[in-house]
Amino acid sequence: MNAECQENNTLLDFDRLLTAVSGLPLVPEGHSGATFTSVVTDSRKVVRGSLFVPLIGEFHDGHDYIPQAIKRGASIVFVAKEEYNRDHELYKSFINKNGISCIVVQNTLAALQNAAAAYVDKFPRLIKVGITGSSGKTTTKELAVSILAQKYRVIYNEGNLNSETGLPLSVFRIRSDSQVGIFEMGMNRHDEIGEIAAVLRPQYAVITNIGTAHIGILGSRENIAAEKKKIFSYINASGAAIIPAADDFADFLASGVQGRVIRYGPNEPESGVAYVADKGFEGSLLKVDGEPVLLRLPGKYNYLNVLAAIALARCLDVTGAEIRSGIRMMAPLAGRGQISHVRLPPESGSSTVRTVTLFEDCYNANPDSLSKTLELCASVRNRKIYVLGDMLELGSVAVAAHAEAGVRAAESEKNTGGMLIFVGREMKTAAESAAKAGADRILYFPGCDDASIEKVVQSILDFTRDGDFILLKGSRGIGLERISGIIKGGSCG
């Protein structure tokens, strides 16, 4: 690729990048600065022409991987000022020997965010949407994407790349033909929503709910609500804040919003949506503008998620027919309410293959989502095996939350002849409370390393018979998805 072509394809020109990050340029002699066509924080993902951003974490310092990034073709590298002052000759040698450009910045994470914000500014006509909430935000985002894609060219963050690093990296996927950008925003510390909202500056924003996820870090639901509300900070008179009407923080969230406030919920008739029937694990039958449509996401709680997505769609003039088409195209996400039928090896002494129903909802867990999942599973008449992993980051409410989880699990599995399996240190309390609530068969595994997961799998295989229902539910950090990988024929690694 010649120099002119590279310049035309660069995400940001060098001078604009320097201004955005308030950086000190270090470039090879005779050069004015490099171009870049991708941005990465993992040196293993560097390709030719990447901007490499070395992040400093609790256990790793990305500066240690700059040589690997250069070897793989990075064209620009951020360097923290403190690190540069410690060994400036090293970085000068990188420039002279490899012909790359370095930019010295005060803080590499802040520089990544500021560069991303400058990149978003290149697209003034882009309709920018932010989505956050204690639970349901990824599902709501995916629903919104599916619906709005019937009318617009939509760009969005894949999976749950919604953090202080994931959101900035995601916005670099915006291109000149993008019409709507829908970006999920998560948090696990104070002011994280504020920081990443400043990157996107959404004109429309959705809050799914104010629950207890990350309450151990934020301290209270009031603090969580105040943090989530920062997503509305950049809404002007032409934009809208989309708020769950029945949430007890709805009035607080609505206060001070500069644009329209749209409240969504089952009792908001102007939505044009009616709930017709719960189809269990097949989903929910709805009517949108009087016409039936099946939402293929199990659990009535997903009704609120689709109402949020529809409220957003109405703001952006999406028709009822387009909304129904988007809903029909939406399928459960991997690990999030995903149903599959799995063939297991025969029991010992038998030649009959066992077929079980596997319900994977192990991408995240908090008291709210676990309660909804167990309520859904209570309707299953087959013998049930629940594998429940720790709900993380609950702080001072962790003991009470896990104790309640044990009781709810016992009630949901009651009288099916099944088994409850609890995984993780916090779930010890759940196992004890389940026993007190009358559960007959309980197993507890304090560890969640690969060896422990192998033992959990073996316990499932030893107990399971044809027709059983297996639930996997736990926080992402516990890694219960490894169980499905093994019983589907994979391995822990």
DSSP of 75-104? SEEEEEHHHHHHSHHHHHHHHHHH--EEEE
* Per-residue DSSP letter, 173: T
Whether the Cβ atoms of residue 111 and residue 23 lie closer than 8 Å to each other: yes
Both tokens of residue 155? 């760009």
Q: 């500021």: which residue's tokens?
A: 114
- pLDDT attached to residue 4: 39
| Residue 317 neighbours by CB under 8 Å, 6+ apart | 151
Angle between helices 192-200 and 221-228 (to 10 degrees): 10
- pLDDT attached to residue 8: 55
**Rg over CA atoms, the chain:** 25
Global pTM? 0.83
How many angstroms separate the CA atoms of 225 and 205, rounded?
14
User: One digit per residue, pLDDT tens: the chain, 493 residues?
Assistant: 344 334 458 999 999 999 999 999 998 876 777 899 999 999 999 999 999 999 998 888 999 999 999 999 999 999 999 999 999 899 988 888 888 999 999 999 999 999 999 999 999 999 999 999 988 899 999 999 999 999 999 999 987 788 999 999 999 999 999 999 999 998 888 889 999 999 999 999 999 999 877 677 778 889 999 999 999 999 999 999 999 999 999 999 999 999 999 999 998 878 899 999 999 888 999 999 999 999 999 888 899 999 999 999 999 999 999 999 999 999 877 777 888 899 988 877 777 889 999 999 887 888 988 998 999 999 899 999 999 999 988 888 899 999 999 999 999 999 899 999 999 999 999 999 999 999 999 999 999 999 999 999 999 999 999 999 999 999 988 999 999 989 887 444 4
- Domains delineated in the chain: 3-111 (3.40.1390.10), 123-328 (3.40.1190.10), 336-487 (3.90.190.20)
- pLDDT attached to residue 348: 72
Both tokens of residue 195? 């920081």
Both tokens of residue 461? 């295989």
As beta bridge partners, residue 222 has none
In what side-by-side order are the strands of the sheet with 240-244?
154-156, 180-184, 127-132, 204-207, 240-244, 260-264
> pLDDT (tens digit, 9 = 90+) per residue, 9-50?
899 999 999 999 999 999 887 677 789 999 999 999 999 999
How many angstroms separate the CA atoms of 154 and 182, rounded?
7
- pLDDT attached to residue 369: 86
How many angstroms separate the CA atoms of 201 and 188, rounded?
20
- DSSP assignment string, 5-32: HHHHH-SS-HHHHHHHHTPEEE--TT--
Q: 């390709």: which residue's tokens?
A: 47
Both tokens of residue 108? 């590499």
How many angstroms separate the CA atoms of 239 and 232, rounded?
10
Both tokens of residue 285? 């039958």
- pLDDT attached to residue 7: 45
